[in-house]
Amino acid sequence: PSVAISTSQVRALLLSENRQTNVTTPMGNMMLEIQGDLEIPETSHADDRFSSHEGVDIVKFGLLHVNMETKSATLFIGKKQRLLGSVVKLDTPLGLLKFNHKSGTVEMQDIFSYKVIFKNRPLPIM
């Protein structure tokens, strides 16, 4: 078995030298990492935070503030938790692979050079 990885999108990115310098990539993706389990409901509830997007149920779970000068980040989870973290440059960039099970194809859609990471214990929101 074998499958080619479609790389035209990231190849164009790399050759254009349009690299990620912010928390979001030029393609609009972001990597969020938390040292812990992020618990989110599996089903929708009658609450403002629940809505849908393109036919898929979604929930608003937090608010993120990033200071690119100091590379610090604050993440508010729900109504009760506050996490302090940072914007970190990855030692090795990560390619984002999308596996399409119907067509049996693989595409490398983006490259992450940074992530926002929260390693500290959550604090209460005062």
Partner 1 sequence: KNFRIWVRYKEGFSDAVRKNVSWHDLWS
Partner 2 sequence: STNLYSRLSCDPSYKLVQLTPELLEALTSDEPQLQFKCFDEKRSDVVLCSARRTWLLRQKNHSNTVMLMREFLPEDEQTQEDSSLFGIPRPINDLLGYSRTTYEYETRATEGRINLDLVPIYNGEVNFPGESKLKGRTLKDVFDNSPSSETECKVRWYQLGGCVVNGCPCILSPDMLSNALHVTLMSALAESLDFDRLHPCETYEVVQKDVEKGRSPYVLEVVRTVLAKFGTPNDDETWKLNRRQVAQWYGVRALQKFASRHSVPLEEFLIKWKSTFPPFAGFDIDIKMLRGWFCEPTRGTVQYVSKDTLPVDVKDRFKMLFKLQSQWDLEAFAPFIEDLNTKGLKIDTFIMKYARKRRIGKKIVVCSR
Q: Which residues bind partner 2 (CB under 8 A)?
A: 1-7, 10-11, 14-15, 24, 27-38, 40-44, 48, 51-53, 56-66, 74-76, 79, 82, 92-101, 106, 108, 111-112, 115, 125
Question: Do 16 and 25 form a contact (C-beta atoms < 8 A)?
Answer: no
- How many angstroms from the chain centroid is the CA of residue 126? 27
Question: In 10 A of CB 35, how many CB atoms?
Answer: 12
Tell me the window of 6-14, 15-23, 42-50, 88-96 that interacts with partner 1 (CB under 8 A): 42-50
Side chain identity at 28, as an amino acid letter?
G
| Binding at 81: pick from partner 2, partner 1, none (beta carbon under 5-8 Å per type) | partner 1
81 is a site residue for partner 1 (CB under 8 A): yes
Closest Cα partner for 40 from 60, 20, 22? 60
Q: Give whichever of 46 and 56 is closer to partner 1, judged by the CB atom.
A: 46
